[in-house]
Structure 1
Amino acid sequence: MKKRDIFKLLFLSATMALCSCNDFLDELPDNRAELDSAEKINKLLVSAYPSRSYVIMCEFASDNNDDAGEANHPGSGVGSRLYHNSYWMDMNEAENDSNINTWQAYYNCIGVANTALQAIEDLGTPVQLLPAKGEALLCRAYAHFCLTMLYCLPYHPEKASEYLGITYLDAPETTLNPTYVRDNLEYVYEHIAADIEAGIPLISDDNYSVPKYHFNRAAACAFASRFYLYYMKWDKVVKYANEVLGVNPASLMCDWEQVSQLLWDGQTRCRAYIDTSKKHNLMMIPLVSNAGNCFFAWSGTANRFPHNNRVCKCETFRAKRPMGGPFDLWKKNASFDLYRHAPFQWEDNITNKVYMPKWYPYWEVTDAVTGVGIGRSVLVAFTTNETILNRAEAYIHLKEYDKAVDDMEIWAESIYKVGQQGVEPLTRERINEVYGDPTSSLYIEEYTTEKPTSRKPLHPHGFEIEPGEQENMIQCLLFCRRLETLGDGLRWGDVKRYGIVVDRFDDTNYIDDTTTGWTVSATLGEKDLRRAFQIPIEVTSSGGIVRNPRNEDEPGHAFIQ
């Protein structure tokens, strides 16, 4: 199916579903009798993938983005307050990527998946529909998991039963205007795991004309590796990552060297990243979203709240790194000597953005006269690069450090020109020197607001990290993950899991040459309940779905203690 056709189908299904707060499942039960063939059920499942995403809210809430300042961008920049309010405030904006649209888009997927599953059961679960059943189960699990990323606290094995989850729906809605209640987080995670375990054995790539627009086998296992990382089931992270990566994971990494040879116009390289022929790309989801412009360096969208030179120089691409090489030399083009593909940078009097070319901005004009249209993007939902870092993190928790270093080095080889300009292979000895020997020139100091670095203090939630080598390994891993997932929204998950404090820097007066001129305008502490986004007011005002508490509401909350 062509990408444009998928865009249209997802948009139509989302438009039908996003009519009001409690009726996102009302349409489908009436149409269930029509689902009397494998062809119809498979077509329906195209709509079981979300038309919106967690990415924008999660990315802007994380420490990847700074505030360029109201003085430089009156009105919060390009008219949208969603980006501003993602900084841990209630989000009630009416736009494509709004809080309510995202909530409803995920529940629409769940409704579609449940309807397909019921139809399959009504048909007697014939063998030819088992792959569709697997896909529906994975779609249902994925949508619920994304909702927990947004609206729930991080999982804690001893406290999850006390944490609010979301409503886990495992059957089609059959009543009009139903009342929903929130399950606890432990219940939700248990059901996500059950759907994953039941669904993966049924997945068949032969069921799809273009597997990478669906939960193909590799994508399903990559999703499992991510979920079990959040669930702290380290052995299962390794198990499912192994299925994705095989015996030669280096051959499956993103070929940034090849991308760097393409036309230097930004969009060509972005299109290459989402190309279905690329081995690193495991699954793509077309979105009705402005994410493509938000995380595209050569776009002015969201230019008040970007990943900019301050973050880049102190904490990410330009910062001191465990694999070495020159740093803090952006304007001398050192990045071209270090990276197989240098990050895109746009800097002028208004915009200061630094991103890798991963998001292709697509604008569908609906009125040729006025230029009014709809922003569309393509989310690369799962990659081999992320999956190998999932496995590396699991190995660290299992204290299999040699295996973890091997995986991190494979990732580093796909990003850096290892062996050139002082960039050296990662080894256990080197990582322990970088994070454990203050006398070494390679040593990376711990982050402070006066001297920000990539090495953030960790307050892991639900697990422990031993001081010394294990913590050193985790610091290296988190640096790699931060670069790999920048612009994907997944840094927010790491911030939550590791209790990383987020300082919101105001860079109104930032001077790059001297690395000066920032102030801290706000801080999200490790025990701040705003780490769970607020449920859309349109949902809570209708009754049943309770709002997420805040520290002032429940000072005795289990998360705070």
Structure 2
Amino acid sequence: MVKKNIYKACIAICGAMLTTACGDSFLDHTPDERIELNAATLTDVQCINMINASYPGANYGWIGELSSDNIIDNNAPHMPTSTNSEQKETHLNLNSMDRFDDELFEFKPCVSAKYQDTPYYIWEDEYSSIAMTNVIINLINEHEQLVGKDNLSPIKKAVRGEAKILRAYCHFILVNIFSQAYKDDNASKNDIGIPYVTEVETTVRVEYDRSNVADVYAKIAKDLEEGMAELNDTHMEKPKWHFNIAAANAFAARFYLSYHKYDKVIEHADNVLGKGPVNVSNKLMSYEPFSDYVYAKDFATYFQSPDNKNNLMLITSLSYNFYHAIGYRYAMNGEAARAVFFHPTPTSGNLIIHPAAVASYQYASYSSEDADYGYYSFKIYYVFEYSDKISGTGQAHQVRREFTNTLLLLERAEAKILTGDYDGAVSDMADYEASRLTIGNTLKKAYDIKDIPLTKEMILDWYNPATHGINNPAITLRQKHENTLDNSTDGWGNAKHMGINIPDAAVPYMNCLNDMRRYETMWDGLRFFDLKRWGIKYAHIIGPQSKKIELDWDDARRAVEAPLEARTAGMESSRTKLSTESPISGKARVSLPESSIFMMK
């Protein structure tokens, strides 16, 4: 089943029902509350209202974190996070927040839950958004045929462009979760994809084909390019909640980075950040305002605000991501937290935690000073909407910072590394590090932080696996940096299987980038995408007996399994390996919903 409820019932297009002269009776009204849309009379306002309602509300952050190396099992023996603490293994005896956490951490299919933060919820919600975009695109196409191409209003054209970009984005999220990472066109033809849905469903049961990853990426590129050709954001009342022009370019850069088209990454990033030696500081995240905040809500508001110059696009989601991380079995703790943010960096001297994490409370802890249950971040703080205050029930709303200038800068830096422009990459990473050190004078004095710029020489020394590698037995724990990998199969060596060439000269730069991305994307779920596309080997250690599950670059479990309901309906497993000699299967039948807001007329 791709989507049970095809269209989101969350907007009202028309202000009144059609009536007749028969009096106030049942026959005076349409038989349900769906809205009839007619291509001949389609208005700009209807198009705007539809696209406003089309954005997904699911959050893949927890799935991504739990499936990556950013989370550990607190019940498994682990070292303390701080290198100042006695390096003695400990383990706890905690329950998981939900059974599906156990399933996903062990890389098993999730069969126990279907609500927020589960694969089922992501699958359903993204395909719901896709269905809405298909309605919009179809209606505007029909309207264009009736009025003529030259008479199509600029707003309708812009909304169609936005809808195509949103459709591309939703498929991009789905393929990165439920399939293997893109390698190249030949190798990725052997990896099962996800259904790329472009037609409006008008029959009771529809067959969908999962195709392959190469085909899905080609279709994403087509939608993205066609959408950007028509996109205009002048009609957007609140552009930060839409694919405005800057956000669309940021998405294009992220997509082409995964697609290994690095010149396009740089081109789209330049469209937002500027080209050449320009000052990007006025566009990046500033940590200075955090000095004035006390409460979690204040920190979250600044992180998630559309007025924050760093934020390019925000998405409101229903998610309990924040709750999963607090006081339960699976947490950002121990060696994982050490790798994410609790380690020295070239510009922070001997500090054991990056000052930006201190300033922004990205190292908040639930239990004690030593955070023995793990850490969480105020950037994923939520607003709780009560449906019943007496019983304490309701829904948690979290704003996702889906595209930011700081992450776009790092994506451009990676593209420069992979095209051999090391100096250009250093410039971008130095700008990024400068933004992290805008922590205010109080903290700078307290931690004796000097405004020392990140340099090429620092990177070549600090991120050299021969001197600071995590597997180097000749150095102290404090001198090791968890994100400093070598070019072996335990490090960057598997990238070649993923279609990425990382010569030895590029390794220190990739290590620096890896370190920065791991911090910047924590709790967003994007670390999971990075591990997949880079082919980095990683493991989950489970329970007091330290059961080890290790995923190599080609492990089928790197793809989250498709929901049970989809597979029961006939959809093939996400962990199926295709053959180029045999036809691709993976078809499933789905039913139209019992009711939907839109009826095609």
Normalising by structure 1, report the TM-score.
0.83
In the TM superposition, what are the counterparts of 1:350-365 in structure 2 within 5 Å? 352-365=373-386
Over the matched positions of the two proteins, sequence identity in percent amounts to: 27
Among 460, 477, 484, the residue aligned to 1:432 = 460
What amino acid does structure 2 have at the position aligned with 1:308?
N
- The amino acid that maps onto 1:134 is G
SS of alignment partner, residue 427 of structure 2: helix
State the partner residue of 2:484. 455
Structure 2 stretches lacking a partner, 5+ long = 1-6, 12-31, 77-90, 486-490, 583-601
Deviation, structure 1 residue 447 = 7.8
Tell me how far 1:304 sits from its aligned partner.
1.7
In the other structure, the counterpart of 1:135 is 162
Q: Deviations over 1:456-502 (max 9, x none)?
A: 41221433434432111111111111100011000111100111122
Q: Which deviates further from its counterpart, 419-428 or 234-243? A: 419-428
- Alpha-carbon offset, residue 342 of structure 1: 5.1
Is this contact kept in 2: 1:286–1:376, CA < 8 A? yes
1:226 aligns with 2:226: no
Structure 1 residue 174 corresponds to structure 2 residue 202: yes
Structure 1 stretches (4+) deviating beyond 6 angstroms? 27-30
Structure 2 residue 227 is matched with structure 1 residue 199: yes
Aligned to 2:529: 493
Corresponding position: 1:344 with 2:363: yes
Deviations 1:238-284 (A, max 9, x none): 000011112432211111121x2232211211111111111111111
- The alpha-carbon distance between structure 1 residues 337 and 381, as it changes in their structure 2 partners (threshold 3 A), is closer
Deviation at residue 548 of structure 1 after TM alignment:
2.3
Amino acid at match of 1:288: L
Task: Output aligned runs, 1:399-438, within 5 Å.
Answer: 399-416=420-437, 421=449, 424-436=452-464, 438=466
Aligned amino acid, residue 427 of structure 2? D
1:267 equivalent among 297, 314, 328: 297
**Structure 2 letter corresponding to 1:317:** F
Mapped to 2, the partners of 1:467 and 1:32 lie a distance apart of 56
Q: What letter corresponds to residue 290 of structure 1 in structure 2?
A: Y
Aligned to 2:103: 85
Question: Does residue 1:250 correspond to 2:281, yes or no?
Answer: yes
Cα gap change, 1:31 to 1:151, in 2 (>3 Å): farther
| Pair 1:336–1:165, CA change in 2 (3 A) | closer
**Could you tell me how far apart the structure 2 residues matched to 1:310 and 1:519 are?**
14
- 1:284 aligns with 314
CA distance in 2, matches of 1:447, 1:290: 39
Whether the 8 Å contact between 1:446 and 1:455 is mirrored in structure 2 is no
Kept in 2: contact 1:68–1:305 (CA 8 A): yes
Alpha carbons 1:337, 1:421 under 8 Å: kept: no
Residue 134 of structure 2: aligned partner: 114
Counterparts in 2 of 1:57-96, with a 5 A limit?
A: 57-69=63-75, 72-76=92-96, 78=97, 80-87=98-105, 88-92=107-111, 93-96=113-116
The aligned amino acid for 2:517 is R
Give 1:120's aligned amino acid.
I
Match of 2:263, as an amino acid?
A: D
Contact in 2 for aligned 1:396/1:470 (Cα 8 Å) = yes
Comparing 273-282 and 463-472, the one that deviates more: 463-472
Give the alignment partner of residue 37 of structure 1, picking from 40, 43, 46. 43
Q: CA RMSD in A?
A: 3.0
Partners of 2:95 and 2:329 within 8 A in 1: no
| Superposition deviation, residue 340 in structure 1 | 5.0
Give distance in 2, aligned partners of 1:191 and 1:270: 36
Q: Which runs of 5+ in 1 are unaligned?
A: 1-9, 15-26, 509-517
Q: Residue 392 and residue 143 in structure 1: after superposition, are their counterparts in 2 closer, same or farther (change >3 A)?
A: same
Q: Which amino acid aligns with 2:100?
A: L
Where 1:205 maps in the other structure, the secondary structure is: coil
Q: Does residue 1:52 correspond to 2:58, yes or no?
A: yes
TM-score by structure 2 length?
0.78
Return the letter of the residue paired with 1:285. Answer: I
Structure having the higher Rg:
2
Alignment partner, residue 474 of structure 1 = 510
Q: Check whether the contact 1:11–1:51 (CA below 8 A) recurs between aligned residues.
A: no
Distance 1:305 1:51 in 2: 24
Deviation by residue 1:499-553 (Cα, 9 ceiling, x = unmatched): 1122224587xxxxxxxxx95643222221100111111011112x2112369x9
User: 2-side partners of 1:337 and 1:28: how far apart?
Assistant: 50
The 3 A distance-change label for structure 1 pair 336 and 147 is closer
Matched AA of 1:33 = N
Q: Return the match for 1:373 from 394, 402, 409.
A: 394
Q: Contact 1:219–1:282 at 8 Å: present in 2 too?
A: yes
Is the 2:256–2:262 contact (alpha carbons within 8 Å) kept by the matching residues of 1? yes
Report the secondary structure of 2:138's partner residue: helix
Inter-partner Cα distance in structure 1 for 2:164 and 2:387? 35
**Structure 2 CA distance, aligned partners of 1:11 and 1:174?**
16
2:128 paired with 1:104: no
Match of 1:153 among 153, 167, 180: 180
Preserved contact between residue 234 and residue 397 of structure 1 (Cα < 8 Å)? yes
| Alpha-carbon separation, structure 1, partners of 2:55 and 2:67 | 24
Per the TM alignment, residue 324 of structure 1 is displaced from its structure 2 partner at its CA by 4.9
Pair 1:503–1:375, CA change in 2 (3 A):
same
